[in-house]
Amino acid sequence: MSLLLKNVRAVDGESGLDEVTDILIDGGKIVDMKKGIPDGGSRVIDCAGKLAAFPGMMDMHVHLRDPGFTHKEDILTGTSAAKAGGFTAVACMPNTRPAADSPETIRYILDKAAATGVKVYPVACITKGMSGRELCDYDQLKQAGAAALSDDGKPVENAGLMLRALQLSVSNGLTVISHCEDLSIINGGIMNKGEIAEKLGAKGMDRASEDCVTAREIALTMSCSAHIHIAHVSTEGSVNIIRAAKKDGVNVTCETCPHYFTYTHEKLLSMDADYRMNPPLRTERDRAAVEEAVLDGTIDCIVTDHAPHTAEEKADFFTAPNGVVGLETSLAATLTGLYHTGKCSLSHISRLMSSNPRKVMGLEPIKLAVGQPADLTVFDPELEWEVIPGELHSKSVNSVFKGEKLKGKVVYTISDGKIVFSL
């Protein structure tokens, strides 16, 4: 049966569309878009001018923990969380067990994800086993279905290996995603280095760790005219380095997460490990710099770095692993912090969360237009709700936004013309 969205505010930052219209969906495609489309036997959802629609959002940085860590999350539960958050596509990072460094693991991910209603793009390892010692066979990985390359969770410490990976990416077309962290600077730190860490007696993570590797990656990229994507930007220094590089014409893109433009390291005063992630929450100056970079386009994408961990793992503040879940709160937190404060338009948010991630990954952006795939994120930008961890679809509940009242909620997620999530 065809599906008709009546009186929906269609917002597509890629094309500049922002108007109330009807959208008719049939056969997995948008077949008509105009006001006053007759029902004609379609299933009708009257959005009453209240609901808005983006081209289906993509989160290009998630950890589905599958294979190997399915007590935290698996592909089925992770994609359920994605659908509830309005995402019709995700890219999953390779720090699984085994790591995603072989065609077999890439095919396992694709096969398990095939029927979920979410397009899952596996990110393969830069180095075998993410060990930083030997490059993977990128041609084999790409043929198996790998969509990008990263050793996320572990930086590639050897600059020569990273340079070779970037050189190869020019010909194989796989985006290289860098986790910018100098482990010799981090040296066991668990939160931002500063007065809060000192007060808690916790070892700090100096922002120089992120900044110096960001600068290194840009220098390597410049040397071979490649493209580098910088993951989860959290510091003023990295923002300034990337902004300057873009001004000089370097092909660098980057991303951040809602928690980096929402919170600071003061959250850690609670000694709750659910506020610990890597990179960590930093100072107000860093938070403001990240927010400014989102607004001015220096930061290309908003992602989640969805990183599930069990409650038992997160129980001890000092020994807990880093990471937070975020798929179901990402759009709401962004709307709350940027749109409802008047800082950012819906059009820009659609670019940050729908079209730009696809472009960075080398994929064709989907649009709200006749003939386009019917992947849509339909949401109520005014709906207020409280984040209750136990109501999330993920196996893990380590949400940095737990207990917060957010404004904006996904009501329907439509993938290939089918409603795969409804509130």
Instruction: Look up 248 and say whether it is catalytic.
Output: no
Question: Is residue 73 located within the same domain as residue 213?
Answer: yes
3-state SS, residue 58: strand
Residue 365 is assigned to a structural domain of this protein: no
* pLDDT at site 249: 98
Residue located via tokens 């940050």 = 352
Question: Is residue 239 located within the same domain as residue 354?
Answer: yes
* Under 8 Å between Cβ of 167 and 226: yes
Question: Is residue 87 located within the same domain as residue 132?
Answer: yes
Question: Is residue 356 located within the same domain as residue 388?
Answer: no
- Going through 84-142 in order, the beta strands assigned E by DSSP cover 87-92, 119-124
* Under 8 Å between Cβ of 10 and 17: yes
Domain with 298 in it: what CATH number?
Answer: 3.20.20.140
Catalytic residue among 22, 66, 300, 305: 305
* pLDDT at site 203: 98
Closest residue by Cα to residue 113 from 139, 85, 88: 88
3-state SS, residue 401: coil
Q: Give the model confidence (pLDDT) of 150-191 as tens digits.
A: 999 899 999 999 999 999 999 999 999 999 999 999 999 999
Closest residue by Cα to residue 257 from 279, 225, 283: 279
Question: Is residue 123 located within the same domain as residue 236?
Answer: yes
Residue 331 is assigned to a structural domain of this protein: yes
Q: What DSSP assignment string belongs to 63-127?
A: ---TTT-TTT--HHHHHHHHHHTTEEEEEE-S-SSS-S-SHHHHHHHHHHHTTSSSEEEEEEPSB
* pLDDT at site 87: 99
- Going through 208-332 in order, the beta strands assigned E by DSSP cover 228-230, 252-256, 301-302
Question: Is residue 155 located within the same domain as residue 293?
Answer: yes
Question: Is residue 227 located within the same domain as residue 78?
Answer: yes
Radius of gyration over every alpha carbon of the chain, rounded to an integer in angstroms: 21
* pLDDT at site 48: 95
Q: How many domains does the chain have?
A: 2
Contacts for 361 with CB less than 8 Å, ≥ 6 apart: 58, 60, 91, 121, 147, 148, 175
Does a cis peptide bond (omega within 30 degrees of 0) precede residue 98? yes
Domain with 7 in it: what CATH number?
Answer: 2.30.40.10
* pLDDT at site 309: 98
Question: Is residue 42 located within the same domain as residue 88?
Answer: no
* pLDDT at site 43: 97
Question: Is residue 86 located within the same domain as residue 13?
Answer: no
Residue 279 is assigned to a structural domain of this protein: yes
Question: Is residue 330 located within the same domain as residue 385?
Answer: no
Question: Is residue 43 located within the same domain as residue 81?
Answer: no
The CA distance from 405 to 167, in Å, is 46
Question: Is residue 116 located within the same domain as residue 233?
Answer: yes
Residue 399 is assigned to a structural domain of this protein: yes
* pLDDT at site 119: 98
If the chain, 423 residues long, is cut into consecutive pieces of 10 residues, what is the mean pLDDT of each piece?
97 97 98 96 96 98 98 98 99 98 98 98 98 98 98 95 98 98 96 98 98 98 98 98 98 99 98 98 98 98 98 98 98 98 98 98 98 98 98 98 98 98 98
* pLDDT at site 84: 98
415: which 2 tokens? 């993938």
Give me the domain span that covers residue 23.
Answer: 3-52+371-422
